[in-house]
Chains A and B, each alone.
Chain A
Amino acid sequence: MIKNLSRTALNIFVSFFFAGFVISNSLNAADGKTVFKQNCAVCHTLTDQRGTGPGLGGIKDRAPGGDWLFNWVKNAEKMIKSGDPEANKIFKEYAPTVMTVFEGSLSDDDIKAVVEYIKNPPAPPTPTNTVTNDGGEVAGAEGGISPLYILLSVITILALLISVLRGVRVSLRNITNKKEGKAEEPSSTFWEETKSWMGGHRRFVGVCLIVITCIGVKGCWNTLFDVGVYYDWETGRGYKPEQPIKFSHKIHAGDNAIACQYCHNSVEKSRHAGIPTVNVCMNCHKGISAGPSGEKGTAEIAKIYAAAGFDSKTQKYDESKANPIKWIKVHNLPDHVYFNHSQHVVVGKIECAQCHGDVKKMTVAEQQSPLTMKWCIECHRKTEVAMEGNAYYDKLHEALKEKYKGQHMKAFTVSQMGGIECGRCHY
Chain B
Amino acid sequence: MKFEKIINLKSVAAAAVLVLSSCSNAPNSPGYEFMPDMYRSPSLEYYSTHTLNGDTLLTAKKPVAGTIARGHMPGIPAGMDYEKSGLYLKNPIALSDAVMKDAEHLYTNFCVHCHGKDGKGDGAVGQKLPGAPPAYDGTLKSLSEGKIFYSITHGKGMMGAHDGQLNVEERWKLVHYVQKLQGPKAVADSAAAKATGPVDELKKEEKNK
Residue positions of A touching B, CB distance < 8 A? 1-2, 5-6, 8-9, 12-13, 16-17, 20-21, 24, 148-149, 152, 156, 159, 163, 187, 189-190, 223, 226-232, 239-242, 255-259, 261-262, 265, 272, 275, 277, 279-280, 282-284, 286-288, 324, 327, 329, 332, 334-336, 364, 366
Contacts and interface: CB of A to CB of B under 8 A. Distances in A.
A277 B163 CA distance: 12
A424 B145 CA distance: 44
Given A16-B15, A283-B162, A335 B43 contact: yes
A123 B104 CA distance: 43
A228 B27 contact: no
Contacts of B67: none
A282 B160 contact: yes
Contacts of B12: 9, 12, 156, 159
A332 B30 contact: yes
Contact of B19 (A20, A261, A282, A283): A20
CB-based closest 7 A-B pairs: A283-B160, A9-B11, A240-B27, A13-B15, A261-B109, A335-B41, A259-B109
Interface string B116-146: 0000000111001111000000000000000
Contacts of A189: 4
A272 B46 contact: yes
B8 A190 contact: yes
A273 B8 CA distance: 52
B209 interface: no
A118 to B, nearest CB: 27
Interface string B4-36: 110110011001101110110101111111100
Nearest to B32: A227
14 contacts: A5-B7, A9-B12, A13-B18, A20-B20, A21-B23, A239-B27, A239-B30, A241-B30, A265-B109, A265-B166, A287-B129, A332-B39, A334-B41, A335-B38
Interface string B26-58: 011111111000110101001100000000001
B1 interface: yes
Contact of B109 (A149, A262, A287): A262
B113 A258 contact: yes
A280 B31 CA distance: 32
B161 A334 contact: no
B1 A187 contact: yes
B88 interface: no
Interface of B: 1, 4-5, 7-8, 11-12, 15-16, 18-20, 22-23, 25, 27-34, 38-39, 41, 43, 46-47, 58, 108-110, 112-114, 123-125, 128-131, 155, 158-162, 164-166
A242 B26 CA distance: 11
Nearest to B11: A9
Contacts of B32: 223, 226-229
A259 B125 CA distance: 12
B22 A20 contact: yes
Nearest to A187: B1
Given A20-B22, A257-B113, A332-B39, 7 more contacts: A9-B12, A226-B32, A228-B39, A257-B124, A265-B109, A280-B165, A283-B162
A378 B19 CA distance: 34
Contacts of A277: 164
B8 A255 contact: no
A16 B16 contact: yes
Nearest to B25: A232
Contact of B8 (A8, A24, A265): A8
A232 B58 CA distance: 32
Contacts of A241: 27-28, 30
B23 A148 contact: yes
B43 A283 contact: no
A332 to B, nearest CB: 7
Nearest to B28: A241
Contact of A226 (B27, B31, B38, B131): B31
Contact of B47 (A6, A13, A259, A329): A329
Nearest to A23: B23
Contacts of A275: 47
B175 to A, nearest CB: 18
A255 B22 CA distance: 38
A226 B109 CA distance: 36
Contacts of B128: 256, 287-288
Contacts of A240: 27-28
Contacts of A272: 46
A280 B38 CA distance: 33
B108 to A, nearest CB: 6
A6 B113 contact: no
A17 B162 CA distance: 54
Contacts of A163: 5, 8
Nearest to B124: A256
A5 B1 CA distance: 11
A259 B111 CA distance: 9
Contacts of A257: 112-113, 123-124
Contacts of A187: 1
Nearest to A148: B23
Contacts of A334: 38-39, 41
B71 to A, nearest CB: 12
B129 A152 contact: no
Contacts of A232: 25
B158 to A, nearest CB: 5
